[in-house]
Amino acid sequence: MLKLQQPDSLYIGGEWVRASDKEAVINPADESVIAEAPVGRAAAISDAIGIAYDAFHNGPWRRMAVTERQSKLTEFLDAIDRRKAEIVELIIAEAGSTRMLADFLQFGIPMKHARKTVEIASRPAMSSLPVELTPNAQGGKTLGTGVVSREPVGVVSAITPYNFPFFLNIGKIIPALATGCSVVLKPSPYTPIEALFLGEIANEVGLPKGVLNIVTGDIEASKLLTTDKRIDLIHFTGSDKVGAMIQAQASHNLTRCVMELGGKSALIVRPDADLLQAAQAGLGGFVTHCGQGCALLTRHLVHNSVKDQYVEMLRGMLSHVKIGNPQDPSVSFGPLIREVARTRTESFVESAYADGAKLVSGGKRPDGFDKGFFYEPTLFVDVRSDSRLAQEEVFGPIGAVMGFDSDDEAIAIANNSDFGLSGGIFSADAGTAFEMALQLRTGGVSINGGAGTMQSEAPFGGIKRSGYGREYGVDGLNEFTYQKTISFHGA
């Protein structure tokens, strides 16, 4: 497993700065301590912001030709790839990811996205405006036109959560750096090592000092990343409640934000659907990474004519889910990140019972686990659309099945949510499914399983309490820029 060269230090200005305080990083599967990570204080975070500010305004990075930045970032990604085996082991130990998920989704997909981001960074940064002819005071006509230039926004505060730490760290710093910005990256205190090792990579490939800084810190110290006027963009992934706090903190300086927040996404299963495929997708919707994913399909809206059959399929699939320490390659279901997450999951089970939902499977801590934050994958049926389980994000392994009788009813139930991040539809009638997808109030919809991958050029993000702004592709790249219009005219 990956070991840091400077385990008690923050990465600021291309140097390792020792922190006076440390905090244990715990393996959620067995509660063992895998590292003692540094805890940054306000002075260190302020220094990191100042150094990033100076690197942006006075350093070479934003002035480089885009091809030079592409070359350096390709070196950066190549260096990461050489350490893939170590990183995957760290993802398993630090985030509690199963081995297959760590290899494919936690590492493989973000690296695919990152390389595509570097590739498309050479998109034209300047576009021409139409020519306009305007009568002038001399009796002639002025030939006027201009260009729109996309330029790096400045210093980026990148704040990432614990569920997909490597994925989200890479997903923020690569587009920020590709556009010429400087970054201060702040990971979750539960998963700091997957961020801090990127400082070693930065030094290995000779990234200019100050363009990438990696800090940790408590809540008070971290407020600088959302309130300091030297920050030009806050790029945050996390819960809607924390997102609202950050937006409020950013409002004093009118700092731009990109918010990728929570979800309560709906999977619609029409009566003509391939039920086996739909049930497999439904299982993944609350079992993947122990339900700790913002875009997971946790609300299953199933036509009443096939609902019982769908539920029985899921019941059978759940009986084959192997719970255990994800170091074991045969394990398909690992732990929640910490005890607080397990306790929260249990509170949703109690709420579901109180609201009249019927338990199909799970609903308790598994037997035989004295260590680790394990909870059985849990399925409820006959869940009310207005219940807590149907309305709030659990971020734990609970699926909720609701019946419907018409497409219009399914759309209404799906849209009855404060969130709007993702969604899915299974139907033999792809045209009707497409028409329904257009009516869903959400940032993305997959039909019959979607593209089979997370597309690297597809903009990702949500509406409502799922946030705003987009990640990945050209739209995601442009979030790290601002537009400048330069106009001119001929004689």
Asked if pLDDT for residue 254 goes beyond 90, the answer is yes
Is 312 annotated in the active site? no
The pLDDT-based confidence of 491 (bands split at 50, 70, 90) is: low
The type of residue at 43 is A
The pLDDT-based confidence of 165 (bands split at 50, 70, 90) is: very high
The CATH 3.40.309.10 portion of the chain extends over 265-456
Average pLDDT value for residue range 55-63:
98
pLDDT tens column, 113-134: 999 999 999 999 999 999 999 9
Residues 217 and 45 sit within 8 Å (Cβ to Cβ)? yes
Distance in angstroms (rounded) separating the CA atoms of residues 237 and 239: 7
Mean pLDDT of the chain: 97
Q: Which of 4-8, 58-62, 168-172, 184-188 has the lowest mean pLDDT?
A: 4-8
Distance in angstroms (rounded) separating the CA atoms of residues 427 and 76: 43
Nearest of 406, 411, 408, 409 to residue 423 by alpha carbon = 411
Distance in angstroms (rounded) separating the CA atoms of residues 61 and 121: 14
Q: What is the pLDDT, as a whole number, of residue 2? A: 75
Q: What is the pLDDT, as a whole number, of residue 273? A: 98
pLDDT tens column, 182-239: 999 999 999 999 999 999 999 999 999 999 999 999 888 889 999 999 999 999 999 9
Q: What is the pLDDT, as a whole number, of residue 115? A: 98
In the block, residue with structure tokens 């409502």: 464
Q: Is pLDDT larger for residue 20 or for residue 96? A: 96
Please identify which of the residues 94, 260, 376, 471 carries the catalytic annotation.
260
pLDDT tens column, 305-338: 999 999 999 999 999 999 999 999 999 999 999 9
Asked if pLDDT for residue 472 goes beyond 90, the answer is yes
Instruction: State whether CATH 3.40.605.10 applies to domain 9-261+469-488.
Output: yes
| Backbone torsion region of residue 292, taken as left when φ is above 0, otherwise alpha when ψ lies between -120 and 50, otherwise beta | beta
Residues 440 and 464 sit within 8 Å (Cβ to Cβ)? no
The CATH 3.40.605.10 portion of the chain extends over 9-261+469-488
Q: What is the pLDDT, as a whole number, of residue 220? A: 84
Which architecture, in CATH terms, is 265-456? 3-Layer(aba) Sandwich (3.40)
pLDDT tens column, 341-367: 999 999 999 999 999 999 999 999 999
pLDDT tens column, 255-313: 999 999 999 999 999 999 999 999 999 999 999 999 999 999 999 999 999 999 999 99
463-464 vs 419-420, strand pairing mode: antiparallel
pLDDT tens column, 129-146: 999 999 988 888 999 999
pLDDT > 90: percent of the chain: 96
